[in-house]
Structure 1
Amino acid sequence: MATIRARKLADGTVSYTAQIRIKRDGVQVYQESQTFARKQAAQAWVRRREAELDQPGAIERANRKGVTLQDMIKQYLDEMEKVRPLGKTKEATLNAIAATEFGQTIDSDINSQRLVDFALWRMSKEGGGVQPQTAGNDLAHLGAVLSIARPAWGYEVDTHSMGDARKVLRKLGYNMKSRERNRRPTLSELDKLLEHFAGILQRRPSSINMLKVAGFALFSTRRQDEICRILWSDVDEAGQRVLVRDMKNPGQKIGNDVWCYIPDEAWRIMNTMPKSCAEIFPYNSATISSNWAKACKFLEIEDLHFHDLRHDGVSRLFEMDWDIPRVASVSGHRDWNSLRRYTHLRGRGDIYNGWKWLFKIIAAPVVLGARSENKREIQ
């Protein structure tokens, strides 16, 4: 049953409050009201809502309180932590989204319009003034949560909302795709960095051996977290390869174990590491990243990430005329499109042929800090 009541306001105008009450077996099971400036609008709303609520299951859905996006993100982070911790960037991004006003949106209200509004807000001054690519990354991380919210937890999330939102943003002229990096270190930059790290090792021999780590990263094309995870037990001596467990992959990160060939230079570096620990490089990935960033800042080397060593290593192999399957056997890429992003050629041949630092890296002594067999060294 619906009623419409007129109410005179202080300024002399009249508003109309439409109220719907529904009873079953003499018990009120639902109540809803809306206020309108015109009586015709109130009447139209009543007719539409009564028709909607007359559908099977509509009352139950309308009474449902729903779960907030913030709660969904928390549940996602908790569930993923049980399997394997997320990357720090993704975790920080999701927590930041949860803390915004958008984080209080209930599941059934998350649609393409809300997602577009959130992306536009992120690009506005109030939302941080981020680049479209950053807003796109926010949506990508959020999409991982929304993609499993309905099938895994039964939340009322529109499975098409994210795709529709991205289409709208593209139509509005925003390029939400991440920019491909083409940064590679120069020999001069590497000379400065390795000289810097060699000096640190002279002063503190038990500190992280950044000479070995950087050299291995360059010639093996391995990511920094993979370097810290590789075990001696996962080395295939006969095949000159290592098993990289849970290799990063957009479609499968857990259980994506890949055998990767180790080029001669990286193989020689790897075999100079002590075998007193389960891990070949028993260091903390975050500390490696921090040491690299601090060194670049101190040496005034701009915009050079540790991950750029992987770019350099892959590009070098192509410059040496390795074909795609052979390069992929080192990098672990599954397809050419992914591998192409890491390929930025400068010429032909091996620029590291006879490189003085390769011999210094191999000859550098390694002193591991105090640590137990099951505890990574943190410095």
Structure 2
Amino acid sequence: MAAIRPRKDRDGVVIGYQVQVQRKGYPSQTKTFRSKADAQAWATIVESEMQRGVWRDRSESENTTLMEAFDRYAEEIIPSKKSGNREMGFLHQWQTRPIAKMFLASIRGKDVAAAMRNMESEGKSPNTIRLHLVLLSHLFTIARKEWGMESLNNPVELVRKPKLPRGRDRRLVGDEETRLLDACQTISPELASIVGIAIETAMRQGEIMGMTWNKVDLKRQTVTLEDTKNGEKRIVPLTTKATQILRDLPRNLDGKVWTYTDDGMRTSYKRACKRAGIKGLTFHDLRHEATSRLFEKGLALMQVSAITGHKNMQMLKRYNHLKPEDLVKLLNGG
């Protein structure tokens, strides 16, 4: 049976309630609450679980705040993750929210939903909110599987995820490619080369900017990528045009293909778009353009995947914008 006792301060004022549940075959469970109703509710749950033989010790999850759990997550989990830098940013944002002060066992779906609404009011995009939820959900999974909190429920599973907008399908139209390359050439010939490589190879920005000469084989017309988004090595074939772009570049003493930094390139690229009068074309859209061109050349889904590094075939399919007339030519061997 549960015993509930009031806790008083020096003046005899009740400041909380301590509840103790004792049952044969189980260790005594004691917890303190501010209200008697909360104490009774907790005791009822514990007694019911003991009665049904499904009770598990919640002591750690009931005494660990989300903020403390994130500190442990940052120390033990994030260092081994490829997206660690980005996730550290999300983690710090979670720790500034009211939910961070709550104990893990007390966090419910409605608490996560409230945090989501706050993110929306701050102007965060649906995809950014989704990434925040992925991090929170993984923390609860780790807590259950690796930190001995097996009885912990994952509240993220109980909330509706934000509806993501349709993927971008921006492509180069009209004479935009010529205008863009001309503008890049005016700003820096190296910038024009970077943009040219992006259009020819479908490589990600980070993959392009991280290129080193010891991984470029102009004879075999390949670039080996050791550090990719999905963590797997990939060998990218080079078109004749891409090979010529690289062949014409000077060799830097540090072994890097480019002298630009990531931030410097992004800034210059935006200037080039503005100079060319091109709106709404991100650097990542060039990957979309290049991937779509691979399909237009008649390459199959798995062949394109081997070049671009996409693991999600469903996501890759949205790049396939083959025109009906092109399909007719393919069907008829044209």
Superposition TM-score, scaled by structure 1 size? 0.66
Structure 2 distance, partners of 1:42, 1:91, is: 35
Structure 1 distance, partners of 2:178, 2:63, is: 58
Identify unmatched segments of 5+ residues in structure 1.
6-14, 350-379
| Residue equivalent to 2:180 | 193
The one of 260, 272, 277 aligned to 2:236 = 260
| Residue equivalent to 1:376 | none
Q: 1:129 to 1:282 in 2, by over 3 A?
A: closer
Task: Indicate whether 1:66 and 2:48 are aligned.
Answer: no
Task: Indicate whether 1:214 and 2:195 are aligned.
Answer: yes
Structure 1 distance, partners of 2:204, 2:60, is: 49
The one of 123, 130, 138 aligned to 2:132 = 138
Superposition TM-score, scaled by structure 2 size? 0.74
CA deviations on 1:305-348 (whole Å, 9 max, x unpaired) are 10110000011122222332332332122453232233344687
Kept after mapping to 1: 8 A contact 2:225/2:235: yes
Aligned-pair distance for 1:54?
6.2
CA deviations on 1:145-171 (whole Å, 9 max, x unpaired) are 444344344456846433332xxx16x
Structure 1 distance, partners of 2:218, 2:60, is: 64
Kept after mapping to 2: 8 A contact 1:311/1:342: yes
Structure 2 distance, partners of 1:220, 1:46, is: 59
% of aligned pairs identical? 24
Kept after mapping to 1: 8 A contact 2:183/2:275: no
The one of 169, 173, 190 aligned to 1:182 = 169
Q: 1:42 to 1:107 in 2, by over 3 A?
A: closer
| Residue equivalent to 2:299 | 322
Structure 1 distance, partners of 2:42, 2:305, is: 63
Secondary structure at the residue paired with 1:314?
A: helix
- The one-letter code matched in structure 1 to 2:66 is L
CA deviations on 1:61-116 (whole Å, 9 max, x unpaired) are 34766333334444444556644663765443333222222233333234433323
The one of 144, 148, 157 aligned to 2:142 = 148
The one of 115, 119, 122 aligned to 1:118 = 115
Task: Indicate whether 1:232 and 2:231 are aligned.
Answer: no
| Residue equivalent to 1:284 | 261
| Residue equivalent to 2:44 | 48
| Residue equivalent to 2:25 | none
Q: 1:142 to 1:29 in 2, by over 3 A?
A: closer
The one of 313, 316, 319 aligned to 2:290 = 313
Greater share of helix residues, 1 or 2? 2
Q: 1:240 to 1:71 in 2, by over 3 A?
A: farther
Identify unmatched segments of 5+ residues in structure 2.
7-13, 23-27, 327-334
CA deviations on 1:167-215 (whole Å, 9 max, x unpaired) are xx16xxx52x3531101133533333333332223xxx8xxx2111111
Secondary structure at the residue paired with 2:283?
A: coil
Kept after mapping to 1: 8 A contact 2:143/2:149: yes
CA deviations on 1:13-34 (whole Å, 9 max, x unpaired) are xx9x7642579xxxx9835245
Task: Indicate whether 1:244 and 2:238 are aligned.
Answer: no
Structure 2 distance, partners of 1:292, 1:141, is: 31
Secondary structure at the residue paired with 1:2?
A: strand
- The one-letter code matched in structure 2 to 1:136 is R
CA deviations on 1:3-52 (whole Å, 9 max, x unpaired) are 567xxxxxxxxx9x7642579xxxx983524535xxxx689648616626
Q: 1:302 to 1:104 in 2, by over 3 A?
A: farther
Kept after mapping to 1: 8 A contact 2:141/2:154: no
Q: Pairwise mapping of residues 58-97 of structure 1 onto structure 2 (< 5 A)?
A: 61-62=58-59, 66-79=63-76, 82-83=79-80, 86=83, 90-97=87-94
Structure 2 distance, partners of 1:59, 1:284, is: 53
Q: 1:140 to 1:225 in 2, by over 3 A?
A: same
User: How many residue pairs end up in the alignment?
Assistant: 312
